[in-house]
Amino acid sequence: MAKTPTKSTIERIRSEDAPRTIGRPSVDSATVGREALIEATCELLKKMPPRKMTRAEVARASGVDPSLIRYYFKNVHLLLIEAAKLFNARYAHKVQLLTKRAGTDPEARLKVRIGALVDLIAEYPYYQRLIVEEILESDDPEAKALMERMTAGGIEGYAAIIEDGVAQGAFRRIDPALLFTSIIGLAEFQTTAHALLNLPRRTTRISTDFRENYKNFIFDLIIQGLRP
């Protein structure tokens, strides 16, 4: 059930929905396309939480006039929904390609899904906040439809792996929906785990070594728990 948007989100959307002149901004930066603005927004999610993102921030990162963002998306909330769609499409494509290489082995297919999500969150630490704050809590029809597709697709993917694992005698039967949500929680906690375990150095960027160690730990934890 969608939550009521926070006051800060409502104020941001209202301010960005203010009347504007009709037509595309007549500035040199207007040559920047819609897709480039979505890409810039995704890049900002490496270092900035979605609710701190403004038209000015995206415009600065893209080198365009803020009015161009309003022209294409109306407000930052709708731009963030498009960013979430792009993340989801890329994740799904990566999982599809790697799953083909994994073949019929349920353990290998499970590792593909877990690894792809851990990699995504390691590269974009604010990805999960984007999904929770701008998609799950949104009343926008496109956000709701995206959330439903992501959830249904994730549960169906894990259900197929579990069924094959049970048939092959590799896994015991469990609830795929709970497996889906548990893996999200483990992958999401990666950024907090990194901060806790690197307090003396105060480093924020997740290193490749830490990511791989964390990934392998989750692999072992989940797969051992699934064995009969």
Q: What is the pLDDT of residues 70-127, one digit of tens each?
A: 999 999 999 999 999 999 999 999 999 999 999 999 999 999 999 999 999 999 999 9
At 121, which CATH number?
1.10.357.10
Q: Does the residue 7 lie in any domain?
A: no
- Residue that terminates a domain, selected from 48, 77, 106: 77
Query: Do 199 and 136 fall within a single domain?
Result: yes
Q: Does the residue 40 lie in any domain?
A: yes
Query: Do 168 and 185 fall within a single domain?
Result: yes
In angstroms, the CA 96 to CA 90 distance is: 10
Query: Do 107 and 66 fall within a single domain?
Result: no
Would you state the pLDDT for residue 207?
Answer: 85
Query: Do 102 and 157 fall within a single domain?
Result: yes
Alpha helices in the chain (DSSP H): 7-16, 34-44, 55-62, 66-73, 76-102, 106-123, 127-129, 141-167, 176-188, 190-197, 208-226
Query: Do 117 and 209 fall within a single domain?
Result: yes
Q: Does the residue 154 lie in any domain?
A: yes
Residue 26 has pLDDT above 50, yes or no: no
Whole domain around residue 91: which residue ranges? 81-226
Q: Does the residue 90 lie in any domain?
A: yes
Would you state the pLDDT for residue 6?
Answer: 52
Query: Do 93 and 169 fall within a single domain?
Result: yes
Query: Do 56 and 149 fall within a single domain?
Result: no
Q: Does the residue 2 lie in any domain?
A: no
Q: Does the residue 192 lie in any domain?
A: yes
Residue 23 has pLDDT above 60, yes or no: no
Would you state the pLDDT for residue 204?
Answer: 66
Query: Do 172 and 62 fall within a single domain?
Result: no
Query: Do 222 and 112 fall within a single domain?
Result: yes
Residue 14: pLDDT band (50, 70, 90) is very low
- Residue that terminates a domain, selected from 77, 106, 130: 77
Query: Do 90 and 190 fall within a single domain?
Result: yes
The token duo for 81 is 């929904």
Let me know: does 228 contact 172? Beta carbons within 8 Å.
yes
In angstroms, the CA 162 to CA 177 distance is: 11
- Residue that terminates a domain, selected from 57, 77, 97: 77
Would you state the pLDDT for residue 136?
Answer: 96
Q: Does the residue 4 lie in any domain?
A: no
Query: Do 88 and 187 fall within a single domain?
Result: yes
Number of separate domains in the chain? 2
In angstroms, the CA 96 to CA 116 distance is: 11
Q: Does the residue 6 lie in any domain?
A: no
Let me know: does 70 contact 22? Beta carbons within 8 Å.
no
Query: Do 165 and 203 fall within a single domain?
Result: yes
Nearest to 21 by CA among 77, 91, 55, 71: 71
